[in-house]
């Protein structure tokens, strides 16, 4: 287990996450599903030390057996990357978007062009754009989102957290991202929040179903879909067909 969450509670005036106990399996895709407002994004943010300041957290999150609070924030975020719902290109060229974080983390920079090329090939952008010096915000939404994933991969994280990465994308771009995640999942641990239950079924190895800040059920995706143990999970997963 690469991440272990123990008795995690996050509260403001009310509890947003309630006594979350969870293990994230290494080099697998874990999908986090549940109704709007159940706490999925809050859970992702807490793993990445990105919780809003006004929120109070109890319990612990271990990354590689160490409490995440023991890591300098930059180190932890290099190891655990977060990709947001909408693409977040920096106001630079595609090339600089990819190299920005890398240059921050590395002193000896050799073969950066090769690395950029390798990464763009990995995410399927290399043959789609002619000029890497073009402004990143000129890319289509789907291309921007893939570029943001590449930017995260550039700093060589071990874990990638994705918060509804396909919600702004059409079917073709959604499938592009899904294929990409399936291709890279042997090298990375992936946790994805999605409202798309068919997507969760297609790409994830493990599934977590949340309701009102609690984990109702978790397990192997196929098992949870085929044989949900809790009535609430069963009812929610039936929405896949709606
Ligand atoms: N900084 C904050 N202050 C107060 N309440 C917050 C804060 N951040 C989140 N919340 C509340 O916590 C709850 C969970 O929010 P969260 O964004 O984690 O849900 P979610 O499951 O990701 O929802 P969605 O699927 O709509 O993105 C919501 O009721 C939200 O209003």
Count of C-beta atoms within a 10 Å radius of residue 151:
24
Residue 107 has pLDDT above 80, yes or no: no
CATH number, domain of 124, equals: 3.40.50.300
Count of C-beta atoms within a 10 Å radius of residue 66:
11
Q: Of 8, 24, 39, give the one whose Cα is nearest residue 159.
A: 24
Nearest residue by C-alpha to atom 3 in ligand 1? 12
Count of C-beta atoms within a 10 Å radius of residue 32:
28
Number of domains in the chain: 1
CA of 52 to the centre of ligand 1 (A): 10
Q: Which residues does a 6 A CB cutoff place in the pocket of ligand 1? A: 12, 16, 34, 36-42, 52, 54-55
71-91 residue pLDDT tens: 999 999 999 999 999 899 999
What ipTM goes with this model?
0.97
Q: Which pLDDT score, from 0 to 100, does residue 65 have? A: 97
Nearest residue by C-alpha to atom 18 in ligand 1? 39
Exposure pattern of 50-59 as b/e (b: 16+ CB <10 Å)?
Answer: ebeeeeebee
Residue 121 has pLDDT above 80, yes or no: yes
Ligand 1 atom closest to Cα of 34?
21
Q: Which pLDDT score, from 0 to 100, does residue 72 have? A: 95
Q: At what angle do helices 112-122 and 94-105 cross, to 10 degrees?
A: 120
pTM to 2 decimals? Answer: 0.94
122-141 residue pLDDT tens: 888 999 998 999 999 999 98
CA of 41 to the centre of ligand 1 (A): 7
Residue 108 has pLDDT above 90, yes or no: no
Nearest residue by C-alpha to atom 16 in ligand 1? 39
Per the structure, the complete domain to which residue 79 belongs is given by 3-240
Q: Which pLDDT score, from 0 to 100, does residue 101 have? A: 87
30-52 residue pLDDT tens: 999 999 999 999 999 999 999 99
């Amino acid at each position: 287990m690469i991440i272990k969450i123990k008795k995690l509670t996050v509260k403001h005036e009310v509890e947003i996450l309630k006594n979350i106990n969870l293990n994230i399996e290494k080099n697998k895709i874990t999908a986090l599903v549940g109704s709007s407002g159940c706490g999925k994004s809050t859970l992702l943010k807490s793993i990445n030390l990105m919780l809003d300041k006004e929120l109070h957290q109890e319990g612990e999150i271990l990354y590689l057996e160490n409490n995440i609070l023991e890591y300098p924030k930059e180190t932890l975020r290099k190891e655990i990357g977060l990709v947001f719902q909408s693409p977040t290109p920096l106001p630079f060229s595609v090339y600089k978007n990819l190299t920005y974080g890398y240059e921050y983390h590395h002193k000896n920079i050799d073969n950066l062009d090769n690395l950029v090329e390798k990464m763009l090939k990995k995410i399927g952008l290399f043959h789609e754009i002619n000029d890497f010096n073009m402004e990143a915000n000129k890319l289509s939404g789907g291309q921007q989102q893939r570029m943001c994933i590449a930017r995260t991969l550039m700093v060589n994280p071990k874990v990638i957290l994705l918060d509804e990465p396909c919600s702004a994308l059409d079917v073709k771009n959604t499938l592009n991202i899904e294929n990409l995640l399936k291709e890279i999942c042997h090298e990375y641990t992936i946790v994805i929040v999605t409202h798309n239950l068919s997507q969760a079924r297609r790409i994830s190895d493990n599934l977590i179903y949340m309701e009102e800040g609690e984990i109702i059920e978790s397990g192997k995706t196929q098992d949870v879909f085929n044989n949900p143990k809790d009535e609430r999970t069963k009812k929610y997963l039936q929405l896949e067909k709606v």
